[in-house]
Chain A
Amino acid sequence: MSLETRFESMVMPQLDAAYNLARWITRNPHDADDVVQEAMLRAFRFFGDFRGTEVRPWLLAIVRNVAYTWLDKNRSSDTVEFDEMAIPGVEAERPYSSYSEQNPEVIVLQSATSRLVNQAIESLPVAYREVIVMRELEELSYKDIAAIAGIPIGTVMSRLARGREMLRSSLEVRMRKAS
């Protein structure tokens, strides 16, 4: 099988996974488009050297790299070093206005619950947001997440626990406001 055919049959089916991760990291559909396009081009260039069996984690690691480069360029404070033990909500992050909150066409497509959950996840610092998305939406193993994010499995687990905790309190606040 040619490289092109293999790429089409192995990598292209993971395009949604790539987009979903990029969309959640950048929190914006246009930027996610750019990130995914660049990531797919890079993936194609590296594909000849790909020796693994699991395409999705390999591709997502590329997407994540491109997305972080994008974050560095566009809002450096988003990737600012953070203290693992910091109090929820006080991490230094650029004041952020949700794309979905400002675009009516997105709002009508989402149920009230989805909207709250989406906004709560979007408000998490990126280091927590990405592990939550990879675990809960992408259903990746701890091992895969560790490999993609380049962190130890123990850190994956602690970020997940902490991310869920932050998400829970954020959701409580949002639901109280909504009811």
Chain B
Amino acid sequence: MSHADTAMTEAELIRHATYYRASPALQGRIRTSLRFVRSPGRFDGWARGFAMAATVAAVAVVSWKGALLAAAPAADDELAREVTTAHIRSLIAEGHLHDVLSTDRHTVKPWFSGKLDFAPPVEDFADAGLRLTGGRLDYLAGRPVAALTYAHQKHVVNLFVWPAQTPRDVSPVALSRQGYSMQHWIEAGMSYWLVADVEPRQLVSLANVVRKVP
């Protein structure tokens, strides 16, 4: 630091502060997530139709949810099988559970960038009994997805995340296959599948931990 620098006023110095700009990757992510909101799909059209017809907004929401739930099972059924298979594979294949082994979300999260066309939310919930152990790439629903691994007591928990096909949030749905419990929900444009060999009721509370629902 030269003497001249110390003589600068804080107003002059502040011009040296960094103006941070959004990265092209972030721009891409945002445009991708907006695209789901942008193109009014079939459900969106229905929702608007209901909203216009119904005098009470709540009625429209219920109707729309009903429409979605009725339409969902077939696709979810196939996916549930895929998710179970991916979970089992991660447990039996030597070294397949983690591509990146770390309990630090600031290590795990950047690891995904450049490997996926979206940035999965990565969080550690160790305080709530769900400890982040690492992550890997997996392939589900015909696309590369983020698989985050957690430890809950002695159980291995996989959380699969990828951009949802619908912009609407979907409340958790419980599924089970071959003794594995699953929770599936959509939030903020991301599709989540949580799977572990625990009681369905226990998995509900783990899903609440991930969703930060008290």
Contacts and interface: CB of A to CB of B under 8 A. Distances in A.
B20 A44 contact: no
Nearest to B121: A34
Interface in B107-154: 109-110, 119, 121
Contacts of A41: 30, 33-34, 37, 188-189
A73 interface: yes
A126 interface: no
B16 A19 contact: no
Interface string A71-85: 001000000000000
Given A4-B38, A32-B20, A45-B37, A171 B10 contact: yes
A179 B37 contact: no
A117 B30 contact: no
Contacts of A132: 14
Interface string A8-47: 0000000110111001100001101110111011001100
A152 B38 CA distance: 37
B190 to A, nearest CB: 10
Chain A binding surface, main DSSP class: helix
A33 B120 CA distance: 11
B37 A33 contact: no
Q: A7, A37, A136, A179 — which one has the most chain B CB atoms within 10 A of its CB? A: A37
Contacts of A157: none
Contacts of A90: none
Interface in A165-179: 167-168, 171-172, 175, 178-179
A92 interface: no
Interface residues of B, number: 32
A179 B16 contact: no
A26 B92 CA distance: 40
A167 B17 CA distance: 12
B212 A73 contact: yes
B26 interface: yes
Contacts of B16: 111, 113-114, 117
A118 interface: yes
A112 B6 CA distance: 13
A110 interface: yes
B27 interface: yes
A68 to B, nearest CB: 15
B22 A18 contact: yes
A72 B121 CA distance: 17
Given A24-B20, A167-B14, A171-B13, A112 B30 contact: no
B1 interface: yes
B18 A37 contact: no
Nearest to B189: A41
Contact of A136 (B6, B14, B189): B14
A20 B109 CA distance: 20
A148 interface: no
Q: Which 5 A-B pairs have the closest CB atoms?
A: A19-B22, A23-B20, A179-B1, A168-B10, A16-B21
